[in-house]
Chains A and B, each alone.
Chain A
């Protein structure tokens, strides 16, 4: 959050935003660009999980979401995993947030409550008030970003690709302006903020970096389908009851 609000970041983002305004003006889609910015300014953070992880979060001894590094620290996770799968992730995340990546929880921006179902069918939308003062928005998944920008661990990342929560509309415009079409509807624009193929790994989205743990009391909405297997259906049923007790809004999708 502090990094996103420092002058080099805000200046570089302002330059990108200015270029985007020029391009959209030249292409005759300034109106649609304004609509995109407005829409992005009203987005929320969504996390997607599988039913087992959701059940853990709602029923666990701790009300806090167990992030990757928390699990490592508290050794609920096999340390070998850190040696095989995770160095790439750690390298990417530490390059983007070198001093605090271990404290971050990751989410995506959503304009229409859809989520990255690739990571799990249950979309957990967070209450904005609980995260807005401790979150920044990043251009895309850090791993993909480093690949595109040819950055390796230890190097600093270019400025202008992150924003404070309040400036997420500007970042969305800076990133997405070239994809705005003439007469784009609100639905079309929402699909730019998070592509309509959240079930694919390549789905592009703006990433939310939340500093500090996320309490289950900070969940606003849980949306997802009824599972197919009997055991998972029972876990989901129990999770729904727990969610209602916690005052969380539930949406069972098809």
Chain B
């Protein structure tokens, strides 16, 4: 292993590509691990950093200690020679050097350094020699230096006489001098000359370590008359002989046998088993052994393929950090193969390390797969939220690589980016075109089906999921089955959805998508405890997938079990430190538990960590609104929409904030939607109806809600509109009609509206039961205050009215808008 050492700093750094170890010379030696890119800062201010080869920590410790002792010996000796300090200090300098040079290596280094350059004019060693008379080793060194000064001066002058043109510039000359000094060249020459020895072997040795300076060394020796042309030729001959001895290793490529192949497969299987039980240390060890073996019997291409294979296994088991580690290793084993960089880039993308992913995709392009590399760059843009740029980049790939097999993937992602931007109509049209162009692609049919689902065309979606299933047999049709179940769930046909999920879980009991889908269906139908149990099972069955853990935490938030939710998010954060959805958990809990001030700080922190994530900025704007900073909230939404004009959550948030601030008319002019199709369009439709109600056109608003309840294919939106309509009926004195509207299963109506409708319709028992349900569910403060006021007003509890009718109306509208937006 290579390490860098500075004696001046008493510091060494050894490193692997991911983390560096810094060893500082303290007693005992301290070790620190840090990113390799940070290491260089430790060495600022040092001029003696050099590389050494070490095997282990003990050697690193020794290298650091020796380098430090060498520097301190030289430094204190120079202080002693300069004699600018008080006498007692000079004596202590000498004593300390004497203590340090107990090892020959250190004494030799001191002598070597002092002989590399003549002492400055006027500096006399006599005083230093006198002070150090009780320090025998140092005294000996100083006396030698004193005696050899004429030769030191001659050697040094000879070097200075070498013309500058032998180097590139003055910097090159300084660099050469430092290199030759560090390799002991000055010392060897001074000692050799002082003893009248033949310098041939010394020159050979020095040249072998400084091949680039071979000519410089010849000119140097010639300049003080020790070499002529003939000798230079002799040395060249000797040098060639020396070179021959050094090249004793010859690489022998051995083709991989079938036996080796079988062994590697069995090792990969063992790695998979270890990953399944999350025994990462054992998996790493097995991988090291597998690759160690392959280095002897396989080519670099085969070894890299094995690493890519285990990286994919790690990915399948939801361990992106290991996927990344192994994929990165593959790039080092076979950097010429674009696939290795492709796997690595994919892993980096999964970890959210977008900058590095971009660089890796660059490598894919330069290694030869320009189509995959360019698609990768577009994927990075998409994951970072730059949707317009990403789509353009995907389409560019489609044009530039029209005949490449990878173009299908790029065009699917171009259509998916439209879905991200809520442009369902165009996405659908693109998918229809793709289905005609790639009729055998399971991914295209699944994408088309998902698009139809976005548009609320659930029956068509189910048909197309079936087509996708036909073209993909290896997953047992799970994707298509899950897609069909999702379609039923979104349309509110919960029993049919549950039936399909149960079928999926019989076929694939560990399929976390199925488990999560089933749990979400139970949640949507109000069966929260059952949903929680289903997610607990999913977490047990798929401990390496983030979705079950994130969904469980979010469900606990919805169930207002905030402490448990916070713990669940913390647990998920520990397991999945790179997942953004989990990272925002704390802020979500604070927001939903009504701790808006703390939530605002948490979202501000998240913005610093995820500066490109505009959904976090939208959540911050929402919090500002909740805190009553309406103007500031609208400004925040404006900033978001300037950058992401298609972002529906920001549009909805801005619209609901305008309604809350009495600017409903502006919303009516902004939202131009008459025939909603997608979920987001239905949401905008709802908010527009709220705005109409607020602007005074209650009848028109009621008609819109009635139309929505009748035609909206999305169950969640129908629930919002049913609650809103009931609320409007109460406002207009039609409490009985409101009671009929809310007289549906619990999950289809807001609890607070249900309470209000029953109470206003004088259905005492039902109202009391609804009130009790709200109180038991630990809602946020606004809902408690509202429920209490409704209960007091309708004598479900004792006490005088504390708020006006308009307060009730405003608060109820705010609660419903919060849900709608």
| A interface residues, Cβ below 8 angstroms from B | 15, 19-20, 22-23, 25-28, 49-50, 52-57, 65-68, 71, 73-81, 84-86, 88-89, 91-92, 106, 118-120, 141, 143, 146-153, 158, 175, 177-179, 201, 228-232, 234-235, 237-238, 241
Q: Assess whether B178 is in contact with A141, with CB atoms less than 8 Å apart.
A: no
Which of B40-48, B409-417, B519-527 lies at the interface?
B40-48
Given A68-B40, A84-B2, A50 contacting B89 (CB threshold 8 A): no
Best-surrounded residue of A20, A50, A120, A153 (most CB of chain B within 10 A) = A50
Q: Does B186 contact A (CB under 8 A)?
A: no
Q: Assess whether A56 is in contact with B46, with CB atoms less than 8 Å apart.
A: yes
User: How far, in whole Å, are A119 and B11 apart by their CA atoms in the complex?
Assistant: 11
User: How far, in whole Å, are A118 and B22 apart by their CA atoms in the complex?
Assistant: 11
Q: Which residue of B has the minimal Cβ distance to A25?
A: B629
User: How far, in whole Å, are A49 and B611 apart by their CA atoms in the complex?
Assistant: 33
User: How far, in whole Å, are A41 and B48 apart by their CA atoms in the complex?
Assistant: 38
User: How far, in whole Å, are A28 and B597 apart by their CA atoms in the complex?
Assistant: 8
Which of B27-35, B245-253, B279-287, B475-483 lies at the interface?
B27-35
Closest 7 CB pairs of A and B: A88-B37, A53-B45, A76-B47, A178-B604, A150-B354, A75-B175, A52-B8
User: How far, in whole Å, are A37 and B175 apart by their CA atoms in the complex?
Assistant: 47
Q: Assess whether A232 is in contact with B72, with CB atoms less than 8 Å apart.
A: yes
Please indicate the chain B residues that have their CB under 8 angstroms from the CB of A232 in the complex: 10, 72
Between A and B, 26 residue pairs with Cβ closer than 8 Å are A23-B624, A26-B629, A52-B9, A56-B47, A66-B44, A66-B45, A66-B46, A68-B40, A68-B41, A79-B175, A81-B49, A81-B51, A85-B40, A89-B37, A89-B41, A91-B37, A92-B37, A141-B38, A148-B609, A153-B359, A175-B608, A177-B604, A178-B603, A178-B605, A234-B89, A235-B75
User: How far, in whole Å, are A210 and B40 apart by their CA atoms in the complex?
Assistant: 18
Please indicate the chain A residues that have their CB under 8 angstroms from the CB of B51 in the complex: 78, 80-81, 84
Count B interface residues, CB 8 Å. Answer: 79
Q: Which of B660-719 contact A (CB under 8 A)?
A: none
User: How far, in whole Å, are A23 and B604 apart by their CA atoms in the complex?
Assistant: 8
Which of B91-99, B126-134, B199-207 lies at the interface?
B91-99
Q: Which residue of B has the minimal Cβ distance to A242?
A: B84
Q: Assess whether B174 is in contact with A74, with CB atoms less than 8 Å apart.
A: yes
Q: Which residue of B has the minimal Cβ distance to A54?
A: B45
Q: Assess whether A143 is in contact with B35, with CB atoms less than 8 Å apart.
A: yes
Please indicate the chain A residues that have their CB under 8 angstroms from the CB of B175 in the complex: 75, 79
Please indicate the chain A residues that have their CB under 8 angstroms from the CB of B96 in the complex: 230-231, 234
B5 CB to closest chain A CB, in angstroms? 9
User: How far, in whole Å, are A228 and B10 apart by their CA atoms in the complex?
Assistant: 13
Please indicate the chain B residues that have their CB under 8 angstroms from the CB of A79 in the complex: 175
Q: Assess whether A53 is in contact with B15, with CB atoms less than 8 Å apart.
A: no
User: How far, in whole Å, are A91 and B604 apart by their CA atoms in the complex?
Assistant: 28
B172 CB to closest chain A CB, in angstroms? 8
User: How far, in whole Å, are A96 and B76 apart by their CA atoms in the complex?
Assistant: 40
Q: Assess whether A52 is in contact with B10, with CB atoms less than 8 Å apart.
A: yes
Q: Assess whether A150 is in contact with B384, with CB atoms less than 8 Å apart.
A: yes
A147 CB to closest chain B CB, in angstroms? 7
Q: Which of A23, A49, A75, A88 meets B601, CB within 8 Å?
A: A23
Q: Which of B26, B35, B76, B636 meets A228, CB within 8 Å?
A: B26
Please indicate the chain B residues that have their CB under 8 angstroms from the CB of A55 in the complex: 8, 75
Q: Assess whether A74 is in contact with B629, with CB atoms less than 8 Å apart.
A: no
Please indicate the chain B residues that have their CB under 8 angstroms from the CB of A231 in the complex: 69, 72, 76, 96, 100
Q: Does B780 contact A (CB under 8 A)?
A: no
User: How far, in whole Å, are A141 and B37 apart by their CA atoms in the complex?
Assistant: 11
Please indicate the chain A residues that have their CB under 8 angstroms from the CB of B49 in the complex: 71, 76-78, 81
Q: Assess whether B600 is in contact with A52, with CB atoms less than 8 Å apart.
A: no
Q: Assess whether A27 is in contact with B8, with CB atoms less than 8 Å apart.
A: no
Q: Which residue of A has the minimal Cβ distance to B7?
A: A52
Please indicate the chain A residues that have their CB under 8 angstroms from the CB of B174 in the complex: 74-75
Q: Does B13 contact A (CB under 8 A)?
A: yes
Q: Which of B302-357 contact A (CB under 8 A)?
A: 352-356
| B interface residues, Cβ below 8 angstroms from A | 2, 4, 6-11, 13, 15, 20, 24, 26-27, 32, 34-51, 69, 71-72, 75-76, 79, 85, 89, 92-93, 96, 99-100, 171, 174-175, 178, 352-356, 358-359, 380, 384, 597, 600-605, 608-609, 611-612, 620, 623-624, 627, 629, 632, 635-636, 639
Q: Assess whether A75 is in contact with B171, with CB atoms less than 8 Å apart.
A: yes
User: How far, in whole Å, are A149 and B600 apart by their CA atoms in the complex?
Assistant: 21
A40 CB to closest chain B CB, in angstroms? 17
User: How far, in whole Å, are A228 and B636 apart by their CA atoms in the complex?
Assistant: 55
Q: Assess whether A68 is in contact with B43, with CB atoms less than 8 Å apart.
A: yes
Known: A68-B41, A118-B32. 17 other contacts (CB 8 A): A19-B636, A25-B632, A50-B11, A53-B8, A53-B44, A74-B171, A78-B49, A84-B36, A86-B40, A143-B35, A143-B38, A146-B355, A150-B355, A150-B384, A201-B34, A201-B35, A232-B72
Q: Which of B20, B93, B597, B609 meets A26, CB within 8 Å?
A: B597
Q: Which of A27, A88, A148, A158 meets B36, CB within 8 Å?
A: A88
Q: Assess whether A158 is in contact with B611, with CB atoms less than 8 Å apart.
A: yes
Please indicate the chain A residues that have their CB under 8 angstroms from the CB of B89 in the complex: 234, 237-238
User: How far, in whole Å, are A57 and B611 apart by their CA atoms in the complex?
Assistant: 39
Please indicate the chain A residues that have their CB under 8 angstroms from the CB of B8 in the complex: 52-53, 55-56
User: How far, in whole Å, are A51 and B82 apart by their CA atoms in the complex?
Assistant: 20
Given A22-B632, A141-B38, A50 contacting B47 (CB threshold 8 A): no
Q: Which of A68, A148, A234 meets B76, CB within 8 Å?
A: A234
Q: Which of A50, A81, A146 meets B40, CB within 8 Å?
A: A81
Q: Assess whether A49 is in contact with B40, with CB atoms less than 8 Å apart.
A: no
Q: Which of A65, A88, A92, A119 meets B42, CB within 8 Å?
A: A119
B167 CB to closest chain A CB, in angstroms? 11
Q: Assess whether A85 is in contact with B39, with CB atoms less than 8 Å apart.
A: yes
Please indicate the chain A residues that have their CB under 8 angstroms from the CB of B9 in the complex: 50, 52-53, 120
Q: Assess whether B627 is in contact with A26, with CB atoms less than 8 Å apart.
A: yes
Q: Which of B42, B71, B608 meets A178, CB within 8 Å?
A: B608
Please indicate the chain A residues that have their CB under 8 angstroms from the CB of B10 in the complex: 50, 52, 232
B780 CB to closest chain A CB, in angstroms? 17
Please indicate the chain A residues that have their CB under 8 angstroms from the CB of B50 in the complex: 78
Please indicate the chain B residues that have their CB under 8 angstroms from the CB of A150 in the complex: 352-355, 358, 380, 384, 612
Please indicate the chain B residues that have their CB under 8 angstroms from the CB of A28 in the complex: 597
Q: Which of A22, A77, A118, A148 meets B43, CB within 8 Å?
A: A77
A234 CB to closest chain B CB, in angstroms? 6
A47 CB to closest chain B CB, in angstroms? 8
Please indicate the chain A residues that have their CB under 8 angstroms from the CB of B384 in the complex: 150
A19 CB to closest chain B CB, in angstroms? 7
Please indicate the chain B residues that have their CB under 8 angstroms from the CB of A237 in the complex: 89
